[in-house]
Amino acid sequence: MDRKRGQWLRPVGMTDEGELYPTQYRLSDCSEPEPWDIIEVPLYETVSRKPHHPEDRKIAGTPWGLIERGSPTRTLLRTLENVCASGPDLFGCTGKRTLPAAIPKQKNPASLTLIRPAETRIKVEPNPQYLTIGELPSHRYRVRFFLNGALYELPLTDTRFKKRLRYFDTGYYTLSEVGLPPGKIPYLVCSLGEPYKGYCYKLVATVLMPPD
């Protein structure tokens, strides 16, 4: 988030896909960004070139600076609570996908948003591609939650969080069953993927646990 403007930003690489590599997001102290870090990211662009991803900003290629590491301040947590989407719509609708052309037409165009649903479950399911390719992970993961009455079940792409799910069998699990502290309600960073067969699909990019 841009602390000065209060806007979401998505640092992206120089390729069309925008993928970032470890050498690009490594901090000036040679560590990698951690949840709740406050960092300074030099950016090359001030405006996104992708209407369906208005938050995208290409990185400048210079090291990222670590400003603060540790538990978030109360001020930061209040800011997050204020920007959490209340639903039921997520990116303009309650479906699992949206048209890329519809995003710029929204009142507040966005492909990133923060939510904090009261009840969240993790779904572990077979990866159908594994049966034909044989080299991909045998399972894939989804996040199931209600947002102001609307049911969502979105793909999970959070690499850090998926590591804790590697040895779970197929099924639905509460957050405490996958090792998170009981009673803690996480923030979910939701995003829109790149267009695929004419649509941008919704996903959960990060599961962010509040401090103790």
| pLDDT tens-digit map of 60-98 | 888 899 998 888 888 888 888 888 999 899 999 999 999
Say what the pLDDT of residue 3 is: 58
Q: Is the pLDDT of residue 204 over 70?
A: yes
**64 vs 14: CA distance, rounded Å:** 16
Kindly indicate the confidence band of residue 175, based on its pLDDT and cuts at 50, 70 and 90: very high
Which amino acid appears at position 72 of this protein?
A: P
Model's pTM, two decimal places? 0.88
The C-alpha atoms of residue 22 and residue 30 are separated, in whole angstroms, by 10
Express as a percent the part of the chain with pLDDT over 70.
93
Q: CA–CA separation, 137 vs 160, rounded Å?
A: 15
Dump pLDDT digits (tens) for 124-139. 998 887 766 655 578 8
Q: How large is the average pLDDT for residues 7-26?
A: 85
**Strand ranges inside 32-138, DSSP E:** 38-40, 56-58, 65-68, 97-98, 112-115, 120-126
Rounded to whole angstroms, how far apart are CA atoms 113 and 83? 8
Amino acid code (one letter) for 69: R
When the pLDDT of each residue in the chain is averaged and rounded to a whole number, the result is 88
Please state the domain extents for the chain.
1-70, 72-212
Q: Is the dihedral of CA 69, 75, 81, 82 positive or negative?
A: negative
